[in-house]
């Protein structure tokens, strides 16, 4: 794979770079880190932002297609990660309604995300 890489250890140049980064005053080490990894970091940040925007756009579209009560159930249970019992008690609905909303709205959301991805490419 990489010369000097035994499959269990870090690549030697990475180890020295990481060791140098422990010193906050090592400007040369930080510059080397930036020069080496800026594109990787930028790509990951951009990708995460793209995914977040895609999900938000899909949620807005789906929100218009379902009853407000159903979306609220989905929002609390799936997006806010509240337990079924808590959502059911808070909104005075049955656990079955929570599961049903999760399934129906989730299916619509997946479909909308897929549609938005296809239209973006």
| CATH number, position 27 | 1.10.10
- Does some domain include residue 4? no
The rounded distance, in Å, linking the Cα atoms of 90 and 84 is 10
Predicted local distance difference test score (pLDDT) of residue 101: 97
Q: Supply 34's token pair.
A: 């930036």
**pTM check: above 0.85:** no
- How confident is the model over 81-104, as a mean pLDDT? 97
Is there a domain that residue 105 lies in? yes
User: Which residues have a Cβ under 8 Å from the Cβ of 71 and sit 6 or more positions away?
Assistant: 62, 63, 101, 105
For residue range 39-90, what is the model confidence (pLDDT) as tens digits?
777 777 788 888 899 999 999 999 999 999 999 999 999 999 999 999 999 9
State percent of the chain over pLDDT 70.
80
Evaluate whether residue 5 is within a structural domain. no
For residue 49, the tally of other CB atoms under 10 A from its CB is: 10
Number of domains in the chain: 1
Please indicate, yes or no, if residue 7 is contained in any of the structural domains: no
Domain hosting 110: range is 12-120
Output the CA angle 73-88-71, nearest 5 degrees: 5
Backbone angles phi, psi at 103, to 5 degrees: -65, -50
| 79 falls within a domain | yes
The answer to whether residue 91 is domain-embedded is yes
Residue 17 backbone class (left: φ over 0; alpha: ψ -120 to 50; beta: rest)? alpha
Q: Is residue 3 part of a domain?
A: no
Q: How far apart are CA 90 and CA 70, in angstroms?
A: 14
Angle (CA) 48-54-55 rounded to 5° is 90
Inside any domain, residue 1:
no
In this structure, are residues 77 and 101 in contact, taking their beta carbons and an 8 Å threshold? Answer: yes
């Amino acid at each position: 794979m990489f010369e000097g890489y035994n499959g269990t250890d870090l690549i030697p140049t990475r180890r020295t770079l990481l060791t140098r980064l422990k010193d906050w005053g090592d400007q040369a080490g930080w510059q080397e880190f930036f020069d080496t990894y800026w594109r990787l970091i930028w790509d990951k940040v951009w990708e995460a932002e793209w995914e977040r925007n895609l999900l938000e756009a899909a949620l807005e579209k789906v929100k218009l297609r379902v009853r407000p009560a159903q979306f609220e159930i989905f929002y609390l249970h799936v997006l806010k990660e509240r337990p079924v019992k808590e959502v059911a008690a808070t909104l005075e609905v049955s656990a079955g309604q929570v599961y049903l909303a999760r399934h129906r709205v989730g299916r619509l959301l997946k479909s909308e995300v897929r549609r938005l991805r296809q239209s973006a490419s």
